[in-house]
A and B are shown apart, each in its own frame.
Chain A
Amino acid sequence: MSETINFQVPTMAELMARGEEPEVLFWVGCAGSFDDRYKKVTIAFTKILNKLGIRFAVLGTEESCTGDPARRAGNEFLFQMLAIQNIEVLNGYNIKKIVTACPHCFNTLKNDYPALGGNYEVLHHSQFLQQLINEGKIKLQGGGEFKGKRITYHDSCYLGRANDVYEAPREVLQALDAELVEMKRSRRHGLCCGAGGGQMFKEAEPGNKEVNIERIEEALNTNPNIVAVACPFCMTMLADGIKNKEKETEVKVYDLAELIDKSL
């Protein structure tokens, strides 16, 4: 059915030229723009927005990294350079509401930007999707593709502990009519995938195990069909873990948006 829809990805510049304002700005993020695997999530989320007729826009090439990896690695100058430039762009377009599929962008936009003059209502896509489900705007086809599948959800640190968002992603998954199984360490006690705080961009320090291996072993212990994630870095780390365990054919890693898009 998706073939019949003519997908639109309007930019803020285009809307501005037409004198229009979007309901919400979709902040794509660097992984969502450049990482081959996460681009699929960006596309899935864009399709959802299109299918539901939500008036959204993206910044396109006017978007820059939020600065999260620089800030957590300790480079405050670089972070603020990026942040202040982004805020100039966002405030220039009079942006009020932002949704993003990356918990790191979500956290930075929501918590780090206000002190620099950027005040927006920021939602993670799990919260956005949950709202749409609650409002009845997302109606999943009965007995969709994932009915009865065993799904385990991996909490992203920057969504969970950093911002206390634990239930929204789970409610989205519940809408799939799947069997949700929890890992031993979940919610407040969820184990990190190993990528945060700049680790994504360097070799791990010496130890006896990689964090993503520790985590994927725990996930595989739940015998899942799907490991659900809500973060591009978790996606990379856990997909690598599954490859390492040679389970790619049995167990898939999907983002929430992909699961919803496939069931719409």
Chain B
Amino acid sequence: MIEQIIFIICLASVGYIAYKRIRRIIQNIRLGKDEVIKDNPSQRWQNTLLIAFGQKKMFDRPLVGLMHFVIYVGFLIINIEVLEIIIDGIAGTHRLFAPILGGFYTFLINFFEFLAVGVIVVCAIFLIRRNILRVKRLHARELTKWPLTDANLILTFEILLMLAFLTWNASDTVLRERGVEHYNIAGIGSFWFSGILSSLFEGWNTTTLIVYERFAWWFHILGILGFGIYVTYSKHLHIAMAFPNTYFARLLPKGEMRNMPVVTKEVRLMLGLPETTNGSSDTSVSPESADATPGRFGAKDINDLSWKNLMDAYSCTECGRCTSECPANITGKLLSPRKIMMDTRDRMEEVGQQIESGKEAFTDGKSLLDNYITREELLACTTCNACVEVCPVSISPLDIILELRRYMIMEESSAPGSWNAMFSNEENNMAPWKFSPSDRFNWADQLKSGQ
């Protein structure tokens, strides 16, 4: 009875903490500007199915893709077992589903155990890849301190959780075989993997066994609940965010840049043209409408970005596929698209904490630009879209880079000198180089003279 009460208290507190944390994350994402993303739901569902559920882009690198697939499926399916554990915990029952499911129960637990072993193997390989093989993609200046610990913690923790699950089954099997009351459920067959481990427990006396069985059960379930909260502070949040993020990912050609209707309005006015354009097509993706208050041009801080940019930041797995294909990063420049995403998330968390502690947001004198992302990083981008193309969770670091550039140029006019020269050529000569517009057609002279 006491065990049940403790369990319910644990469950309720975790539920409460998780609720508050999820609400914080949603509010943080809402700090971003409005952007209506409602077009083409069928295409969006298809992407979610293929890219998130189907892990399509993960298989660009087949070996890692397959290994991750094991963890992914393992997690989704083993958690069915958590349902039984929670009901048992509340009701004080033991393996409640066993009599209901009969022989199928034995099959299910065997299947879960098979996946658990898979998860242990893959997590071990991932730890080796990270720490011993030191795969280049997983080491960078943005992956020190917390992000480094975070990655190793997750993998270690998953291994421990799976071990708890297996040894719990093993000790439980011995207790059942001894016919100990509460454990002697009829009709459960043998489990392959924990069956092997059972021999470890056979020499133990029944009281010690019960203590271990209870320990493993509690460790497993509290571990999962604790993990549920931990995840929300970690890159591991991708296990939830990957799905909505893929759904809301942009469907336009990657080369298209977000229009700024406020600018269109002003430019048309300047050129003495009527206000309306005669065919504005995709206003659905503009974060601001022409009559909204203009605010800032571009982005200086997270609240100037769209909510989708902010959702991107919470979805990043820190896998570095983007950075490993970034031409700037490959050639030793400071820019790393992964860092752009991590910086955006960290700034969002910082602002969120200010709000949480009752301070007014955005009054700390800091901003995403400069305090997190430097100009040198922004200026190194070739807008090549390599980062966007490879991201397995459909994130666009480029979109954030371009918005920050817009702020630099339009609000601060702080372009490098050679860009200013290019701008003035564009303005005066209608070309980025200093040629006279009247010479634009001279290339044809040679042809027309019959050479």
Task: State yes or no: do A and B come from one complex.
Answer: yes
A residues with CB within 8 A of B: 3, 6-9, 11, 28, 30, 32-34, 39, 42-43, 46-47, 58, 60-61, 63-65, 67, 69-78, 80-82, 84-85, 88, 91, 107, 110-112, 114-119, 157-158, 161-164, 185, 188-189, 191-192, 194-211, 214-215
A82 touches B441 (CB 8 A): no
Interface string of B267-311 (1 = CB under 8 A from A): 110110100011111110010000000000110000000000000
Given contacts A65-B430, A115-B283, A196-B382, 11 further A-B contacts (CB under 8 A): A7-B450, A64-B431, A75-B410, A81-B270, A116-B280, A162-B254, A189-B389, A191-B327, A200-B432, A206-B332, A209-B331
B435 touches A74 (CB 8 A): no
Of B32-40, B43-51, B346-354, B416-424, the one contacting chain A is B416-424
B430 touches A64 (CB 8 A): yes
Asked if B360 is at the interface (CB within 8 A of a chain A CB), the reply is no
The 8 closest A-B pairs by CB, nearest first: A162-B255, A197-B383, A208-B332, A117-B277, A74-B405, A74-B409, A207-B332, A111-B256
Find A115's partner among B281, B298, B331 (CB 8 Å cutoff): B281
Which residues of B391-444 are within 8 A (CB) of A?
402, 405-410, 415-416, 418-419, 421-423, 426-427, 430-433, 435, 437-444
With CB as the reference atom, state the residue of chain B lying closest to A83.
Answer: B267
A185 to B327, CA, bound (A): 11
B271 touches A84 (CB 8 A): yes
A9 touches B255 (CB 8 A): no
Given the interface pairs A33-B440, A34-B431, A205-B380, the reply to whether A115 lies near B422 with Cβ below 8 Å is no
Find B328's partner among A91, A163, A205 (CB 8 Å cutoff): A205
Given the interface pairs A69-B422, A198-B422, A206-B376, the reply to whether A63 lies near B280 with Cβ below 8 Å is no
B278 touches A117 (CB 8 A): yes
With CB as the reference atom, state the residue of chain B lying closest to A188.
Answer: B389
A69 to B422, CA, bound (A): 8
Find B437's partner among A43, A61, A111, A195 (CB 8 Å cutoff): A61
B residues with CB within 8 A of A: 252-257, 259-260, 263-264, 266-268, 270-271, 273, 277-283, 286, 297-298, 325, 327-328, 330-335, 376, 379-386, 388-390, 402, 405-410, 415-416, 418-419, 421-423, 426-427, 430-433, 435, 437-444, 446-448, 450
> For residue A85, which residues in chain B have a CB less than 8 angstroms away from its CB?
271
Given the interface pairs A116-B277, A162-B255, the reply to whether A73 lies near B405 with Cβ below 8 Å is yes
A201 to B433, CA, bound (A): 9
> For residue B430, which residues in chain A have a CB less than 8 angstroms away from its CB?
64-65, 82
A78 to B422, CA, bound (A): 11
Find B440's partner among A6, A61, A164 (CB 8 Å cutoff): A61
A233 to B278, CA, bound (A): 33
For residue A102, give the distance in angstroms from its CB to the closest CB of chain B: 12
Given the interface pairs A34-B435, A74-B298, A201-B418, the reply to whether A211 lies near B405 with Cβ below 8 Å is no
A206 to B327, CA, bound (A): 13
For residue B339, give the distance in angstroms from its CB to the closest CB of chain A: 14
B450 touches A6 (CB 8 A): yes
Given the interface pairs A42-B443, A73-B415, A214-B330, the reply to whether A117 lies near B280 with Cβ below 8 Å is yes
B384 touches A157 (CB 8 A): yes
Find A76's partner among B334, B410, B416, B440 (CB 8 Å cutoff): B410
A163 to B112, CA, bound (A): 44
A173 to B90, CA, bound (A): 69
> For residue B450, which residues in chain A have a CB less than 8 angstroms away from its CB?
3, 6-7
B432 touches A161 (CB 8 A): no
B255 touches A107 (CB 8 A): yes
B426 touches A82 (CB 8 A): yes
> For residue B254, which residues in chain A have a CB less than 8 angstroms away from its CB?
161-163
